[in-house]
Structure 1
Amino acid sequence: MDYQEFYNLKEHPFSSAVDNRFYYPSTQHTEAAARLKYAIDTRKGLAVVVGDIGTGKTTLAMRMLEELDESRYEAALLILLHSSVTMDWLAKKIAIQLGVKDPLDDKVDVLRQIYERLIEIYETGLKATVLMDEVQMLQSHEIMKEFRGLLNMEVPEGKLITFVFFGLPELEGILSLDEPMRQRVAVKCRLKAFTEDITGDYIRHRLRVAGSEGNIFTPDAIKAIYHYSKGIPRLINTVCDNALLEGFILKRKVIDKDIVDPVAQNLGLEIEEEKAAGLKARRVVV
């Protein structure tokens, strides 16, 4: 028996894995999705989503991919895992994602194959889009120039392909490596941390999806979770998951602030006021 059974849940509500069933349609995520869809539908070429760590960029990317109907879009998601990416590797990956069969080794040949495939997609009436996550990894002026070349592929209605870049705030600096590329950003969205009210609604939403029929977290517990997590969804999940585990161990059916406090502190999280007080105390000692 674990906390899932103890709290009468059908599954764990605060998993760190991205699961579209638990997608929370906050106002900012819904508005961002609408803007990105507009950029894709009107063939704008380049849209950008920036946000701090844990604010839901990957979750939004996965949701967008799921909502782009295969009957209208040729869509793919590419997640970058390291910064040693070359344009040769990237071009082949993009080609494969778009359905190019047997991409060649030479970059120029691959770009030609991509263009020919984009024409095929366009002639079938579909819109081509590649969603790219962790794009701040592309710390290269040359790669930005190459993307600019891909965005030069167009038809009278607009660009043959629309890229949607997701990344940390550093992404804006990466785009600035090539000013003409930066100027091609047609739509930009910025994801921020949740407010306290939204944090509470987010927690209740995930619990409902997991099968909860009651309020497991008290208002004081939710307030504490908000302050420790600073409204960052990933941290909210981590604190809530650990609080439920602690509640199960203590056989407490309701999670209150007295459970959240030690759990969050054990995770190394601090409330801003406590952090500031600690820094002040250290300065006094010195």
Structure 2
Amino acid sequence: MPEQLAPYSVVITTFDKRFEPFLVPLLAQIKEQRPHIEVIVVINGPARGVFDEAYRANILSYLARFPKVFPTMFPSFQSLAKLWNRGALTASHDHALILNDDLELKSENGTCFFDHLEAAMATHPGTFKINGSFSHFTLDKRELIEVGFFDERLLGLGEEDGDFYWRFYKKFKKEIASVDMGLIDNVQSDLADDGYTKGIRTASKFNREFIQNEKYKTTLIGGYRGMFDKKVNQALEDEKQYPYELFYLENKNKL
């Protein structure tokens, strides 16, 4: 890691169906490339039924093989917004690389994905997408606090990235940057929990309807499109989530 680069954590969100085919190889790749990096694994529970005890035992056993890997586990299904928020809150550092679990991180000719990432972070110190996607992005925790955490009223999966993108622009009058880099492959698996109603692919019908019918309204005057289909204005205001996190960041060294 370049000396001038601030330390950062890795946050991975995952669930039972993606353990063997995706999480197992992804974590091995991360720890091969950066053995001592802090990794927060946020493990979602099922939307229907009970948490699989065999999966619980297997994932905890697997994570324990590696140093500095810390699980956060939910017994029942939680929103992706909550998983991202809790991952960022749990991370020890002010910057985090947020990853879906269906990714492959590669190495070739003596260079690995993290070499590319850290070069990008040295010139883009704030939040940015990788290759235009929120399947993999870096998050500046202080920017997250200023914009407002990912909206946990989005109870399923989907739209949390577009909502944050819209609010980021509203706050800073600029779009979240995107940095192109190689040695990362997004599989975009359609493996999903069976217990919630789907809209587009794995995204929740609930989330899309909440965004389109309640939180935002299309407009012909002003507004901003961002990642949405049309220009919109915000109709439903945000509650302040995790209001004491900034106090914690600014005072934790006084303990």
Task: Return the TM-score normalized by structure 1.
Answer: 0.25
Task: Return the TM-score normalized by structure 2.
Answer: 0.27
| Larger gyration radius, structure 1 or structure 2 | 1
Which structure features the higher share of strand residues? 2
Which structure features the higher share of helix residues? 1
Which of structures 1 and 2 has the larger relative contact order (alpha carbons within 8 angstroms, sep 6+)? 1
